Structure 1
Amino acid sequence: MRAESSRAERAQIVHRSLRVTLAAAAGFYTFLYGLDEPLLALYSLFAPIALGLLSSVPGSGRQRAAVMLKALPVGLVLVTLGTVLAVETWAAVLGMLVVGFVLAYAAVAGPRPAGAAPGLQLFYILACFPPYEPDTLGLRLAGLTTGVLLLALCEVFLLPQPPGETYRHSLARAVATAGDVLAGRTVLTPGALRAEGARLRLSNVPPAERPAGPRRADRALSQAGTAARRLLEQLAHLTETGQLRDLLRAADRTDSPARWLLPRVAGRCGECAEGLRTGQAVPGPRGLDEAIGAFQDMRVRQTADPAADEVPVPVLRRQAGLLAAAESVRVLEISVRIALDGRRTPPIEPRELFWYTEASAPRLWLRRLVGNMTPRSVQFHNAVRIALALGAARLVAGALDLTHGFWVLLAVLTLSRTTVGETWTAIRAAMAGNLVGAVAAGALLITVGQRTDTDAVLLAPGMLIAFALGPLLGIAWAQGLFTLVVATAFAQIAPASWQLAEARIVDVVTGSAIGLLCGLLAWPAGARREVRRTMAGLLRACGPLIEGTATTLTAVPPGSAPPAQTLPALHRLRLAESAYAQFRSEPAPEGSSGADWHALLIAAHQILLGAQWLPRFDLPGRALPPDAAEWARADARTVAGRTYRLAELCVEGDRGGSAVAGEESPAGGGASAMAGEESPAGGGASAGSPAPERPGLSRPPPPLPLPTLVDLDSWLTSLTRQLSRAEADLRTEPRARSGRPISFRRPAGP
């Protein structure tokens, strides 16, 4: 499988090099030799290189072409802005700071804007250097437009990248599987169910198909995917414990509450899967709401009827598992309907979970943009870092009047990484490649001299080889071969000598030094520190939710205590997920045990879900016995205290200190088997239903067969297990830091 994937990736790289080469060469040769317009030729050459090679626009050929056409107006504005601001160095520097930040920050809008951003940066960089010639603006815009249009045509017609499976269809397959298991039509092992959920990981989804944008449909589809993965994990656990088998048997009896709910839950899964396949919106959620309500009413009547036999606690636990699965399907159903419809809706409960359904599109965009405008956001870090580096590079290039100074900024753009270790590794390889490439380019220029016909013959095959071998062989080859390409191209536009290669070396060294310096000064550790800080903030926000949920369920009289507010924790969760996603993309430092951050994300997600649905469906009709209420609150305080302790462990690890004092780490637990995900998919209240022991909870629960107490105990015990494993892992991580010095592995590619 890996060999097939590697062959496919190599084929994609070769096909991309063909498309970029054809688009760049067609415009360059036509304008330079057909119309004798060097400026047109220059912009038509670099436009395909910028959007086709420097940018990493995801998707099929048609999808990439659409992104490029949408980026064209932005590129025209940037070229215009750069041409106007080239009048003074200080104006160009200020423009570079603003443009650099805005385009880098565009990554918060999703993978497509993030992919196109580097190429758009190059459009401003090309135009903002002297000579100041506003009268040539028309030629620059014409060349840029021609290059982008040629590249878009090549993307569509020349060996186009075929479309991958859409996220909707992947989700439909997973939901249909869950429905078949709930209906008893299919029997799958827990491993098979978890594998089906793992296919919805963002790392397994093509970037162009990831629901990562701020729009209502994207948010809903992402939420539906999380709910589907949570449902499959719940079914895996119910299968492991035998509870699913017992639920299916109980559903055949007329006196069982499962008979009311299980068929409806399975049916809604089938409807959602069909809606995702056809694109037709599924019915509203009221039917499932009523079924869940009837299920809970029947559970309460069974336990409250003095004439009836006492319902065993294991039966109530099994019903709690079904209730949690039903709530996952309810969230799935609502999210699918919103994703397919895409329009604003009246408020949907819980409103904090579905707040985006009633928000306008401008508000959704504003919330995404403003929500990441914080020092705790890695997207904000990256935008500030690249803006400062590009602004400093433009200042140095202008102040020193460097020949071909835009190469300084191009070096910053292509060699900067999110950690200083990665940046240094990339710079070392790039310097070696540029040195060899400069020597070869200098020898070529000395040999060929002013014979532009020879350069013209060499340019097209040189681009094809450079654009194909560079990504395949690594950054050193990419930089060296690109040096040869720019030497042959510029030698045709203006008379050139071996000093052109020398200027290339000076500019790349200058840009590398600036990029490395900015990497040292601005968040040099990348997401390694930020993931600790955001996880600590998330855990601190989750602690009050645990205590608040127990307080709501045990309040006297019932309903007198409002549910805990989950919006702060939801915001912290989004920041933590973003930091974790970048953390997973960075090389792991040697000597680090690798804290299981994904386990913490799963636990936080489970806390948020319980805080939302337990008060909604488990609020008792009459006050709980005082002893039982005190037990519930005491256990909630214990679990909340563990979240605060974990937050302190995260902060201590960020400072490089030892673990804070606290209770001894529980036995067992290690790295989560699901580590490496981009977003949590942990189970709901039943995702980790308790085994006989209750780690960290010193007292056994009161022997009262009350649905509220059983559901709350299941939730707290499951959380304790999740947090115990994460704590055991975090306590070993600082000790790894005190060992041998951390060194960075060399990344596989540029």
Structure 2
Amino acid sequence: MTAARDRATIRRRAVRVAAAASAGFYPLLYGAGLPVAALYALFAPIAMGLLSAVPGSGRQRASTMLRALPPALVLATLGTFLAANTPAAVGGMLLIGFLLAFAAVAGPRPAGIAPGLQLFYILACFPPYAPGTLVERLAGLTAGALLLAACEVLLPDPAAPSYRARLADALTVAARGAATGGVPPGRLRAAGAKLRLTDVPPAERPAGAGRTDRALEQAGRSARRLLDQLATLAEAPPTPSDPESAMLLDRVARRCTGSARFLRTGTAPPPAGALEEAMRAFQADRARAAGKGRDALPAVDVQRRQSRVLALAESARTVEIAVDIALHGRPTEPAFPPEQFWYAGLSTPRLWARRVVGNATFRSVLFQNALRTALGLAAARAVAGSLDLAHGFWVLLAVLTLGRTTAGATWRAVRRAVAGNAVGALVAGALVIGLGRHTDVYAALLAPVMLLAFALGPLLGLAYAQALFTLVVATAFAQIAPVTWRLSEARMIDVVTGSVIGLACGLLAWPAGARREVHRAMWGLLRSCAPLVPATARTLLAPSGGSRAAPVTLPGIHRLRLAEAAYAQYRAESPADREGDSADWHALLIAAHHVLLGAQWLPRFGLRPTPGARDTSAARALGTAAALEAETDRIASLLLAEPPGPAPAAVSDTTRATGPDDDPPAPLSVDLEVWMTSLARQLARVEASLTPAPGNGPPREPTSGPGPGKPGDRGR
């Protein structure tokens, strides 16, 4: 079903691009007698519709293309005037190449249209230096872009469900699971999986830097976590009657229903503070029971269930606040804790500045990709200008389209592209020799050849796409000026030159792609999260009065974003580039989320030490926290092949910070136990993937994307 849908999408795109290119090329060339305008009208739909992966529905893509038209005109103008001087053109290419490639930090739409905008500068910045043709160039570019936008509206792809709709559906399932407990765990987790950004069409992903997108993304992550927590609760063995938990679950169900209705209709739910009040009342009941002595405490299994119910209620509370921010643009109720909703009070320019500055580092894969692309394009422009290659823009086009994030993937793409161009050059040369200067035949061939190339190329692979595109180039240029078989020779030389430059850049600039960076990013994430475990335990166990300040988590959140970006690129790379890496990065990200969330909310709802929280229990909890910190540091050392520190005592044995079941612990100790036990299991899974048992193959990397709320996350 998915393959058939993809084929239909490719066919519709081929029809749109071929129709727009034909509708601009033929009238401008044969009706108006403007060959330069015709050439730009031909390449504008190819650049925006084929080389650019603009996401979204037809109207969304058309809107993106129309907004990109003014920058495209500026780039074409700049390239036209810089074409007179090779060093100036190279400098412009370096700057423009970096800025457009770095636009990926702004989300899928800017990243998708960027290659097309690159091509408009590339087309214009090569000799001949002809500022007198600028008006003709801009007219052709405008005509091609407008025609393609019209075709996007007239022949659109089916619209995909919005992220808001997906989130509302997931919250409806969560409400049923919390209210009745009758929803199967598999269905709960499946509902959460639909919110994974890797499974959401790029146009619908909340990937922007503004408050709305950040809030929707946070709501989605929290909803996935909530659904997984509900599934874990459903899988737990039955416990004695627990009316307090049932009441809190009912309140969670009502809040999820209200948030889902808010997302669908815009009808605001009751004030967001109701759930937090219920959570505080829930904890107050537990505290009163603990203050009455052992006989008043429920069984340990009931206490652990209560702790898990409180944790999932916190996830629901995060969802409702994030949904409120997303739909109102800012919080209408206090958003606590502030570090969890740090973006809520910042202006849009400041949020964008944080996004850009946060990625302006050599540790960011987005920065690495932008720098690699810019250097490759600048080098290609310098070589093409110095050697005075005919149709030198094909050199840069090869660098732009064949560059990959790893040297191995670039080499595989180059091999296929060169082979395809060789075949295409032979066929195009034979065509030119056979037809001579019969432009009417070329005119009749161009539209069907474009349709064939744009439809079959993506389906059959890179070699076929390059071969067919060579035929498109030959039939188009043969109508603009007399050509010989040497046109195919020139294209072959240019493509090989661009391939060599792209391969050299791939070898010199981060040849391993995200492989090395994902190790460094995860190392930094673990180092940042490790101290939060004992800090959270000390905060909870502190007997002093007054409000509790949660440990500072913003550095960890920043590290988490860089790690998620590196992991996302790593998963997008070829399996051949990931061969031999058995690390369970997904489990590591879950563990980091687990630490950060616990450090944020446990100090708010963790109980005060009571007579039930004996000194021995508190000491055991602090010892467990210190052991978890040491284990986290050990795993971080393994990621960079550093000598690991001494192994702490078996963490899985020390996480039980309570006495036997006939000696019930205080709720405070149970909350710490549940949190740290889950973390210990996650760390054990990560370490096992880094040090597989002798004779066993490496663990299979999970197919799910990063974030909380996955199978395997069995605690808070």
TM range (shorter): over 0.9
The aligned counterpart of 1:142 is 139
Q: Which residue of 2 aligns with 1:164?
A: 160
In structure 2, distance between residues paired with 1:39 and 1:385: 32
Cα 1:98–1:344 shift into 2, 3 Å: farther
Q: C-alpha deviations, 1:574-629, integer Å up to 9, x for none?
A: 00000000011111237515311000000100111100010011141668543322
Length-normalised TM-score, structure 2: 0.93
Within-5 A mapping of 1:409-420: 409-420=396-407
Is 1:282 the equivalent of 2:269? yes
Structure-2 separation of matches of 1:403 and 1:61:
37
Bigger mean CA deviation after superposition, 593-602 or 88-97 = 593-602
Moved more, 506-515 or 337-346: 337-346
Q: Which residue of 2 aligns with 1:669?
A: none
Q: Matches of 1:454 and 1:699 in 2, distance apart?
A: 82
How far residue 311 of structure 1 moved from its aligned partner, in angstroms, is 2.7
For the residue of structure 1 that corresponds to 2:234, the secondary structure is helix
**1:401 pairs with one of 374, 383, 388:** 388
Partner of 1:615: 603
Which residue pairs with 1:18 in the alignment? 15
What is the CA–CA distance in structure 2 between the aligned matches of 1:346 and 1:271, rounded to whole Å?
15
Amino acid of the structure 1 residue aligned with 2:638: L
Whether 2:177 is the aligned partner of 1:181: answer: yes
Structure 1 residues 256-279: Cα deviation after superposition (integer angstroms, max 9, x where no partner)? x33542221111011011111113
> Does the CA-based 8 Å contact 2:177-2:188 persist in structure 1?
no
- Hey, what's the Cα distance between the residues in 1 that align with 2:520 and 2:293? 52
Paired residue for 1:34, among 31, 38, 61? Answer: 31
Give me the whole-angstrom Cα distance separating, in 2, the residues matched to 1:105 and 1:591. 28
CA apart distance, 1:291: 1.1
Q: Is the 8 A contact 1:471 1:478 kept in 2?
A: yes
Contact 1:260/1:294 (8 A) holds in 2:
no
Question: How far, CA to CA, are the matches of 1:399 and 1:593 in structure 2?
Answer: 42
> Which amino acid letter does the alignment assign opposite residue 580 of structure 1?
Y
- Asked whether 1:709 is paired with 2:705, we answer no
Instruction: Output the CA distance in 2 between the equivalents of 1:447 and 1:610.
Output: 73
**What does 1:185-200 correspond to in 2, within 5 Å?**
187-200=182-195
In the other structure, the counterpart of 1:236 is 231
Aligned length: 693
Please give the residue correspondences for 1:454-533 in structure 2 after superposition, counting only pairs within 5 Å: 454-533=441-520
SS at match of 1:355: coil
Q: Given the alignment, which residue of 536, 544, 564 partners 2:551?
A: 564
Offset of residue 130 of structure 1: 1.2
1:89-108: CA deviation from partner (whole Å, max 9, x where unpaired):
11111110111111111111
Question: Contact conserved, 2:657 with 2:670, CA < 8 A, in 1?
Answer: no
> Once the two structures are superposed, what CA deviation does each residue of 1:691-747 show, in whole Å capped at 9, x if it has no partner?
xxx725277534552111110111001000001011011113999999xxxxxxxxx
**Quick check: 1:127 aligned with 2:124?**
yes
Aligned: 1:270 with 2:270: no
RMSD: 2.1
Matched to 1:162, the amino acid is P
**Structure 1, 442-451 or 103-112: larger mean CA deviation:** 442-451
Hey, what's the Cα distance between the residues in 2 that align with 1:363 and 1:602? 29
TM-fit CA distance, 1:563: 2.3
Q: Is the 8 A contact 1:281 1:340 kept in 2?
A: no
Residues 626, 356 of structure 1: alpha-carbon distance in 2 compared, 3 angstrom cutoff: same
Indicate yes or no: 2:573 matched with 1:586: yes
Following superposition of structure 1 onto structure 2, how do residues 217-256 of structure 1 map, counting pairs within 5 Å? 217-242=212-237, 249-251=241-243
Does the CA-based 8 Å contact 1:600-1:722 persist in structure 2?
Answer: yes
Offset from partner CA, 1:15-59 (integer Å, 9 cap, x none): 111110010011100100000001110110000000000001111
Aligned residue in 1 for 2:632: 643
User: 2:205 & 2:456 partners in 1: Cα distance?
Assistant: 29
Task: Indicate the SS of the match to 2:482.
Answer: coil
Equivalent residues of 2:422, 2:467 under 8 A apart:
yes
Amino acid at match of 2:483: A
Distance 2:29 2:297 in 1: 90
Mapped to 2, the partners of 1:506 and 1:196 lie a distance apart of: 52
- Name the CA distance, whole Å, in 1 between partners of 2:657 and 2:649: 20
Alignment gaps of 5+ in structure 2: 699-716
Equivalent residues of 1:558, 1:619 under 8 A apart:
no
**How far apart, in 2, do the equivalents of 1:356 and 1:697 lie?**
37
**Which residue type is aligned with residue 178 of structure 2?**
L
Closer/same/farther in 2, CA of residues 516 and 696 from structure 1, 3 Å limit: farther
Output the amino acid matched with 1:165. P
CA distance in 1, matches of 2:137, 2:342: 45
Task: Work out whether residues 282 and 337 of structure 1, in 8 Å CA contact, stay in contact via their aligned partners in 2.
Answer: no
The amino acid that maps onto 1:171 is: L
In structure 2, how many angstroms separate the alpha carbons of the residues matched to 1:284 and 1:547?
35
Matches within 5 A, 1:600-611: 600-611=588-599
Q: Determine which of 649, 667, 683 is the counterpart of 1:723.
A: 683
Which residue is 1:695 aligned to?
A: 652
Q: 1:596 corresponds to which letter in structure 2?
A: D
Whole-Å separation in 1 of the counterparts to 2:314 and 2:548: 22
Contact 2:164-2:264 at 8 Å conserved across structures: yes
The correspondence of residues 535-546 of structure 1 with structure 2, limited to 5 A, is: 535-546=522-533
Paired residue type of 1:642: E
Could you tell me which runs of 5 or more consecutive residues in structure 1 were left unpaired when the two chains were aligned. Answer: 252-256, 667-693, 739-750
CA contact (8 A) 2:215 2:323 kept: yes
Aligned residue number for residue 619 of structure 2: 630
Q: Is the 8 A contact 1:544 1:640 kept in 2?
A: yes
Residue aligning to 2:714:
none
Q: Structure 2: how far apart are the matches of 1:619 and 1:128?
A: 67
Distance between the aligned counterparts of 2:193 and 2:386, measured in 1?
53
